[in-house]
Chains A and B, each alone.
Chain A
Amino acid sequence: MPATSDPDANAAGDVSRTQEAILASYAELIEELGTDDVSFRLIARRAGVGERTVFRNYATRVDLLLATAAWIESRIFPRQDSPSIFDMPLTIRAAMESYDHRPELAHVVAETTMRGVSGAAPSPRRAMLEAMLDAEIPMLDDDERRAIVAALAHLDSAATWVTFRREFGMSRRDIADAAAWAAEAVLDPIRSRVG
């Protein structure tokens, strides 16, 4: 697994062996059955633990879902750190392709980030993006910096894949192209100022 500065990834990296087994099993079952029909009993059986163990680690279905979404982001859809703004569109292209390979899991990740205060971290890569811009273009004014970080954080997410697929019926390649192109457009005006 590549190194990453994503706080969610670190959180997911801290999971115990038992938790890892539970989260991986739930992710598998989501791909087979969808999120609705998966009982704690089924998850326990797949993970090879008792049902009580699942409850002890994840008291509610929402707790389990959020932990699973974080696990999926870090294990199934990890990002390479991209220290260069020139690499960002490529990172986003690769992310879109990986979401397209595991559509059910991409939907779960997208959905959990849209729940407001009871959801998953909506912009886990914000800190990394801010650090990247500060290092490359220290003179960027605050409003523009914030707008660029916000736009890139939004583009580098499962919701992009979901929207482009659902609303525009795009193929894997078209989604990857369109998301990378949008990131290029966002970055283009500041490229010449890297120095």
Chain B
Amino acid sequence: MDTPTAILASAAAALRENPFDDISYRTLGDAVGVSERTVYRHFPTRSHLLEGVAGWIESTEFPLPPFVTIDQFQDAARARFLAFDSSPAFAFVCARAASISPTGEPEPTFFTRALATMLATNHPSVNERDRRRVAAALRYFASAQFWARMRTGFEMSAPAIADVFERTVAKVLGDVLILTDTEMAGVSRRAPA
């Protein structure tokens, strides 16, 4: 494991005990066997560290199940809400990192690209502007941020969060996308309007 990855892994481990704000660069350096200076060289600000840890957590703790249909996308989102519920400290860090001012050029995450690709493949006739706003809404309601707000602002657990998510997806898809029969069955089965 290279040094930056080791730092991120040890920061993630520390999150099981402490909130992110209480994790010091010195502790991280000690845990990995490098100087505090080295930690700063890899993560010049706490925003860099937060983004790094969140990226590491997303890939190791919350891997995204593959999806090529709306139905599978909803399954993937529900699986993530459940995973967030079982590691809330990790999920809140992901939600925070997705909300801060980006430290580099902002790039769409893998999740966003997968969603955009799915919509473009399944619904090539929908104009790009409509498709993009459908994608943006779906992405935002499938996010750790949505989970975080539902959990602290509405005291919901994963099944209730998934229910609100699915009702919203059904409304957002509405008549913008002409769904295939299978997708339509999937959407209406899950979220009767």
Residues of chain B lying within 8 A (CB to CB) of residue A97: none
**In residues 132-166 of chain A, which contact B (Cβ within 8 Å)?**
143-144, 146-147, 150-151, 153-155, 157-160, 162-166
Number of interface residues of B (CB under 8 A): 48
Q: Please tell me which one of the listed residues A119, A122, A151 contacts residue B164 in the complex, with CB atoms under 8 A apart.
A: A151
Q: Determine if B27 is an interface residue (Cβ-Cβ < 8 Å).
A: no
Residues of chain B lying within 8 A (CB to CB) of residue A144: 167
Whether A189 contacts B171 by the Cβ 8 Å rule is yes
Whether B136 contacts A110 by the Cβ 8 Å rule is no
In Å, the complex CA distance between A120 and B46 comes to: 19
When A and B form their complex, what is the total count of cross-chain residue pairs whose Cβ atoms lie within 8 Å?
146
Whether B101 contacts A117 by the Cβ 8 Å rule is no
Contact with A along B117-129 (1 / 0, CB 8 A): 0000000000001
Whether B137 contacts A178 by the Cβ 8 Å rule is yes
Number of interface residues of A (CB under 8 A): 53
Residues of chain B lying within 8 A (CB to CB) of residue A104: 101
Known: A123-B153, A181-B133. A147 touches B139 (CB 8 A): no
Whether A167 contacts B171 by the Cβ 8 Å rule is no
Contact with B along A171-183 (1 / 0, CB 8 A): 0001001100110
In Å, the complex CA distance between A157 and B96 comes to: 14
Q: Determine if A64 is an interface residue (Cβ-Cβ < 8 Å).
A: no
Whether A178 contacts B145 by the Cβ 8 Å rule is no
SS of B interface (majority): helix
Residues of chain B lying within 8 A (CB to CB) of residue A162: 98-99
Whether B133 contacts A122 by the Cβ 8 Å rule is no
In Å, the complex CA distance between A146 and B167 comes to: 11
In Å, the complex CA distance between A162 and B144 comes to: 13
Q: Please tell me which one of the listed residues A154, A168, A188 contacts residue B149 in the complex, with CB atoms under 8 A apart.
A: A154
Q: Determine if B102 is an interface residue (Cβ-Cβ < 8 Å).
A: yes
Q: Looking across the interface, which residue of chain B has its beta carbon closest to that of A111? A: B99
Known: A157-B149, A188-B171. A36 touches B112 (CB 8 A): no
**In residues 83-132 of chain B, which contact A (Cβ within 8 Å)?**
88-89, 92, 95-96, 98-102, 106, 108-109, 112, 129, 132
Whether A159 contacts B154 by the Cβ 8 Å rule is no
Residues of chain A lying within 8 A (CB to CB) of residue B145: 110, 114, 154, 159, 163
Residues of chain B lying within 8 A (CB to CB) of residue A170: 132, 136
Q: Determine if B174 is an interface residue (Cβ-Cβ < 8 Å).
A: yes
Pairs A-B, 9 closest by C-beta atoms: A123-B153, A122-B153, A178-B133, A110-B99, A114-B95, A107-B101, A182-B137, A116-B92, A166-B106
With A107-B99, A150-B150, A153-B153 already in contact, 11 other A-B pairs whose C-beta atoms are closer than 8 Å: A116-B88, A116-B89, A119-B152, A147-B163, A150-B149, A151-B164, A163-B136, A163-B139, A165-B106, A166-B98, A185-B137
